[in-house]
Amino acid sequence: MKKRVIGIAALVAAFALAAFVLTGCGGSSSSASASASASGESAAASAEASGGVFRTLDEIKDSGKIIIGVFSDKHPFGYVDEGGEYAGYDVELANRLAKDLGVEVEYVSTEAANRVEYLETGKVDVILANFTVTAERAEKVDFCDAYMNVALGVVSHKDNVITDLSQIGEGDEVIVITGTTAETYLTENNPEIALKKFETYANAKTAFENKEGVAWANDNTEVIAFANGAEGFTVGIEELGSLDTIAPAVSKGNTELLEWINEDMEKLGAEKFFHAAYEKTLLEVYGADYEDTLVVEPGQK
């Protein structure tokens, strides 16, 4: 029995030691590792002081650094260029916000699936990752003013441009990619339209280029990029269904930061910052024709 007690004590001690080692390693590894990753001293560190999970505007200013979650692999919205620098339409705004606040910016690479979590746990101050405003998400995070429009779009062959869904005849098929908003929307709202479904973007693209289907419905940014990149196609319907917007988001209740961002974005809108950002980052993909469709200048009508 006595031996067993000693054994347990040894085990506990071993785990304690491991925890100590872990902490030591963690500390050094976070400072040594790639600059792009979340560091040990993230936003949540001072969360207790402010009472909430987030950092207040003053805390961000005092720390001299704002932590912003962006995509690192969604060209041309948020990506890392060959020099290892974050770039893209979202990043243009992020850089400018940091500059106006007078602080450095630290980027955290986020995934579509964990953007809400990052804000809910205060591990970032702002999410600027092509974040579409939805009622469901608005229950968990606070959205700032929008800086971009997003909707469904329909691309068709130049010799048979579809500008309205009513032009689609009985024997015609519309191509969609399984699991996309376009598939859901058409199934719910236009059940009479026959859909030809593909699992991947590449398969849908090849089929459509080979004259399968009269039209292809997808996010308008996607169909616009496709029409610009291939010969003989036109986006006949630029906005279908409800018009959604893309906006920065902050942790729920971080009103101070939210208001500051909105004020700053309004100023940026006045100087046509977002058109400039479009021309710098999105123009080569979407072309000049869609600039006004996609870009929103906050506070400007």
Partner 1 sequence: MELLGLDVLFKGSNAMRLLQGLGVAVEISVISVVISLVLGMLFGVFMTWKNPVARVISRIYLEIVRIMPQLVLLFIVFFGATRALNINISAELSSIIVFSFWGVGEMGDLVRGSLESIPVHQYESAAALGMTKGQIYYHVVIPQAVRRLIPMSINLVTRMIKTTSLILMIGVVEVMKVGQQIIEANRMASPNAVFGIYGTILLLYFLVCWPISMLARHLEKKWSN
**Contacts of residue 177, Cβ cutoff 8 Å, sequence gap at least 6:** 183, 197, 198, 199, 200, 201, 204, 218
For residues 244 and 150, give the distance between their C-alpha atoms in angstroms, rounded to a whole number: 5
257-286: which residues touch partner 1 (CB under 8 A)? 284-285
Q: Which of 123, 97, 156, 129 is nearest to 298 (CA)?
A: 97
191-230: which residues touch partner 1 (CB under 8 A)? 229
For residue 298, cis peptide bond before it (omega within 30 degrees of 0): no
Say whether residue 240 binds partner 1 (CB under 8 A). Answer: no
Q: What are phi and psi of 22, to 5 degrees?
A: -55, -50
Q: Which of 267, 286, 265, 300 is nearest to 128 (CA)?
A: 265
3-class secondary-structure state, position 210: coil
* Total residues interacting with partner 1, rule: CB under 8 A: 54
**Contacts of residue 247, Cβ cutoff 8 Å, sequence gap at least 6:** 131, 133, 143, 144, 145, 146, 147
In the complex, least distance from residue 178 CB atom to partner 1, rounded to whole angstroms: 20
Nearer to partner 1, 116 or 265 (CB): 116
Q: Which one of 38, 91, 128, 177 is in contact with partner 1 (CB under 8 A)?
A: 38
Q: Which one of 6, 16, 20, 33 is in contact with partner 1 (CB under 8 A)?
A: 33
Segment contacting partner 1 by CB under 8 A, of 118-126, 132-140, 180-188, 214-222: 118-126
Q: Which one of 18, 138, 270, 276 is in contact with partner 1 (CB under 8 A)?
A: 18
119-178: which residues touch partner 1 (CB under 8 A)? 120-123
Which residues of this chain interact with partner 1, rule CB under 8 A? 4, 7, 10-11, 14-15, 18, 21-23, 25-26, 29-30, 32-34, 36-40, 42, 44-45, 47-48, 53, 69, 72-75, 79-84, 108-111, 113-114, 117-118, 120-123, 229, 284-285
